[in-house]
Structure 1
Amino acid sequence: MNRRPRSGPPREPRTPAELQAAGELQLELEHEQTVETTAYDDADLAGAEAEAIVFDRCGFRRTGLAGAHLPGVRFVDCRVEVSDLSNLRAEKARLERVTLTGCRATGLAAYDGLFSDVAFADCKADLTNWRFARFDVVTFRDCNLAGADFTEADLRGASFTGCDLTGAQFHRATMAGARFRRCELSGIGGITSWEGAVVHPEDLLELSYVFARALGIVVDAGDR
């Protein structure tokens, strides 16, 4: 756990200006398949099952991946827009230089994954499972992460801005350097793991109540 996260915003995906539309070969996902420079626009991959597939320099727009099972999947230099990733099971996923914008990802399971240079924006990612995952220069902006599970995740390279983290779990997470700004933090679990986290002053009031509850302190606002 001596890794020092790289600073700076996530690097942008290196996707070509033009992508080839997905054909039958790209739509019938198979184990250990590599798909390159392909556009999955309005594609239906819901319920697909394939292990160790690689998407290299691909684009996804209005793509349906709901309920798919893609263990060990890799997304490299990809853009994912307004797509449905709800209940996608992607344990041990690897994302490198990926942007996800306006996506629905309720119930996404990406535990034990590695996320490097990844930007989530305006995503509905409540009830997601990030247990044991590692975040290296990852940003969450204006995302719904209510009930998300970051248990034992390495969040030293993650930042959260304008996110709803109501009821999110951080038990035994590594937090030194993780950044939070204008986030909803009520009901979070694992507050004792927040050593070294960087919190904006606007978030301190809510966080103080969480600390108090964790220490068994009763906050009484009544007059004496």
Structure 2
Amino acid sequence: MNSLILNGYEFEDCEFIGCDLSLVNLSGSAFRNVTFRECLLQGVAFNHANPFLLAFHFDHCRLDQSQFIEMDLRNCSFRNAKVREAIFESCNMQKVAFDRVDLGGTFFDRCNLMNADFRSAEQLALDPEQNRVKGARFSYQSAIGLLTKYQIKVSH
């Protein structure tokens, strides 16, 4: 199976709806305020995209085994926003790597994050009651982000 190549393209203020972009090559592509709805994006190395003004939103997508490495994902969203009869049961993100990623302000809502890797993620705030996190990996520092909704202070 050949992967789709979107090298160097610029996408701004647009939506991808119901697309299969699994294994897509995004080298140098720009994504500025782009929403993916009910898309297959499995095995995508998002870290190859152009980081300038990067803004992603994923609604009800499958991102299994994708990678976000050394990226600024502040204010991005991953959610289960069902607007019609959905193809997928949730925003599926099993085995996704969030490696050295800034997640400040990133929103996770009803996502399947089973076996995702958050060990080197920064500023994680994630409600484990609203997301599936079984088998997900966290460092001590990133695990503190699981308590954000309780507005408690943890010190060491």
TM-score normalised by structure 2 residue count: 0.69
1:151 maps to which of 69, 73, 83: 69
Give the match's secondary structure for 2:20: coil
Q: Which residue does the alignment assign to 1:24?
A: none
Q: Which residue does the alignment assign to 1:193?
A: 120
Map residues 157-172 of structure 1 onto 2, 5 A cutoff: 157-162=75-80, 163-172=91-100
Deviation at 1:111, TM superposition (A): 3.8
Percent identity of equivalent pairs: 24
Q: Say whether 1:116 aligns with 2:32.
A: yes
Give the match's secondary structure for 2:62: coil
Q: Which residue does the alignment assign to 1:56?
A: none
How many residue pairs align between the two structures? Answer: 128
List alignment gaps of at least 5 residues for structure 2. 81-90, 141-156
Deviation at 1:205, TM superposition (A): 6.3
Map residues 62-73 of structure 1 onto 2, 5 A cutoff: 67=2
User: Whose RCO is larger (CA < 8 A, sep 6+)?
Assistant: 2
Deviation at 1:126, TM superposition (A): 0.8
CA distance in 1, matches of 2:55, 2:17: 17
CA distance in 1, matches of 2:111, 2:130: 7
Deviation at 1:204, TM superposition (A): 6.0
CA distance in 2, matches of 1:200, 1:91: 35
8 Å CA contact 1:113–1:130 kept in 2: the answer is: no
CA distance in 2, matches of 1:141, 1:174: 20
CA distance in 1, matches of 2:79, 2:131: 14
8 Å CA contact 1:112–1:130 kept in 2: the answer is: no
List alignment gaps of at least 5 residues for structure 1. 1-65, 68-86, 216-224
2:11 maps to which of 72, 76, 95: 95
Give the match's secondary structure for 1:119: strand
CA distance in 1, matches of 2:111, 2:132: 11
Give the match's secondary structure for 2:46: coil
Give the match's secondary structure for 1:192: coil
Give the match's secondary structure for 1:199: coil
CA distance in 1, matches of 2:104, 2:27: 20
* Cα deviations by residue, 1:115-172 (Å, 9 ceiling, x for unpaired): 1111110001111121143364421000000011111122113100021110111111
Q: Say whether 1:142 aligns with 2:60.
A: yes
8 Å CA contact 1:112–1:131 kept in 2: the answer is: no
8 Å CA contact 2:112–2:132 kept in 1: the answer is: no
CA distance in 2, matches of 1:161, 1:152: 22
Q: Which residue does the alignment assign to 2:146?
A: none
What is the one-letter code of the residue matched to 1:109?
N
TM-score normalised by structure 1 residue count: 0.50
